[in-house]
Amino acid sequence: MPVTNFSLEDPFEYLAGFNAWHQTETAPGIIPQGTTFLQKGKYGVYPERVSGTSFTVPRKDSKQTFLYRLLPSTCHDEFIEAIDHPFNASFAHEALNFKPNQSMWAPIQITEEDDFVTGLRLIGGAGEPTMKKGVAYYAYTAGKSMPKNQAFDSADGDMCIVPQKGTLDIRTEMGNLRVRPYEICVVPRGIRFHVSLPDGPARGFILETFAGHFELPELGPIGSYGLANVRDFEVPKASFVDTDEDTELLSKFAGTLHRATYRGGIFNVAGWHGTYYPFKYDLGKFNAMGSISYDHPDPSIATVLTCASEVPGQAVADIVVFGPRWVVFENSFRPPRYHRNTMSEFIFLVKGSFGPEPMPAHLEGMFGLSNTMSAHGPSAATYDHATSEELVPQRIDEKNMGLMFESCYQIGTTKWVDTVPTKMAASPAGTANLQKVHIPE
Least CB distance from residue 424 to Fe ion, whole Å? 16
339 is in an annotated binding site: yes
Which of 22, 194, 273, 296 is flagged as catalytic?
Answer: 296
Q: Cα separation of 286 and 322, whole Å?
A: 10
Q: Where are the beta strands (DSSP E) in 93-173?
A: 102-105, 120-128, 133-142, 150-154, 158-165, 168-172
Of the candidate spans 221-229, 248-256, 365-373, 419-427, the one that interacts with Fe ion by CB under 5 A turns out to be 365-373
376 is in an annotated binding site: yes
Report whether the peptide linkage leading into residue 72 is cis, meaning its omega lies within 30 degrees of zero: no
Least CB distance from residue 341 to Fe ion, whole Å? 6
Least CB distance from residue 134 to Fe ion, whole Å? 21
Query: Toward Fe ion, which CB reaches closer, 118 or 370?
Result: 370
Q: Cα separation of 185 and 391, whole Å?
A: 37
Residues 54-73 binding Fe ion (CB under 5 A) are none
Of 382, 174, 398, the closest CA to residue 273 belongs to 174
Kindly give the pairing relationship between strand 279-282 and strand 46-51: unpaired
Of the candidate spans 67-75, 252-260, 316-324, 339-347, the one that interacts with Fe ion by CB under 5 A turns out to be 339-347
Least CB distance from residue 303 to Fe ion, whole Å? 14
The mark string for 367-386 relative to Fe ion (x by CB under 5 A, - otherwise) is ---x----------------
The helix or strand, by DSSP H or E, that contains position 386, with its residue range, turns out to be helix 380-386
Query: Toward Fe ion, which CB reaches closer, 156 or 345?
Result: 345
Closest residue to Fe ion in the complex (CB): 345
Of 260, 273, 279, the closest CA to residue 73 belongs to 260
Active site annotation includes 93: no
Interface size with Fe ion, residues (CB under 5 A): 2
Query: Toward Fe ion, which CB reaches closer, 119 or 402?
Result: 402
Query: Toward Fe ion, which CB reaches closer, 8 or 373?
Result: 373
Q: Cα separation of 86 and 298, whole Å?
A: 40
| Maximal C-alpha separation, the chain | 89
Query: Toward Fe ion, which CB reaches closer, 239 or 374?
Result: 374
**C-alpha 33, offset from chain centre:** 35
Contacts of residue 385, defined as CB under 8 A and 6 or more positions apart, other chains included, come to 357
Residue 252, beta-bridge partner list:
154, 257
Least CB distance from residue 344 to Fe ion, whole Å? 9
Q: Cα separation of 276 and 222, whole Å?
A: 28
Of 281, 274, 299, 223, the closest CA to residue 16 belongs to 281
Of the candidate spans 26-34, 102-110, 172-180, 342-350, the one that interacts with Fe ion by CB under 5 A turns out to be 342-350
Query: Toward Fe ion, which CB reaches closer, 205 or 267?
Result: 205
Kindly give the pairing relationship between strand 150-154 and strand 247-253: parallel
345 is in an annotated binding site: yes
Least CB distance from residue 323 to Fe ion, whole Å? 17
Pick from 158, 345, 364, 406 the residue near Fe ion by CB under 5 A.
345
According to the 3-state scheme, what is the secondary structure of 320-355? EEECCEEECCCCCCCCCCCECCCCEEEEEEEECCCC
Residue positions in the annotated binding site for homogentisate?
Answer: 354, 376
Q: Can you say which residues are annotated as belonging to the binding site? A: 339, 345, 354, 376
Q: Which residues are annotated as a binding site for Fe cation?
A: 339, 345, 376
Q: What are the residue numbers of the active site?
A: 296
Interface with Fe ion by CB under 5 A: which residues? 345, 370
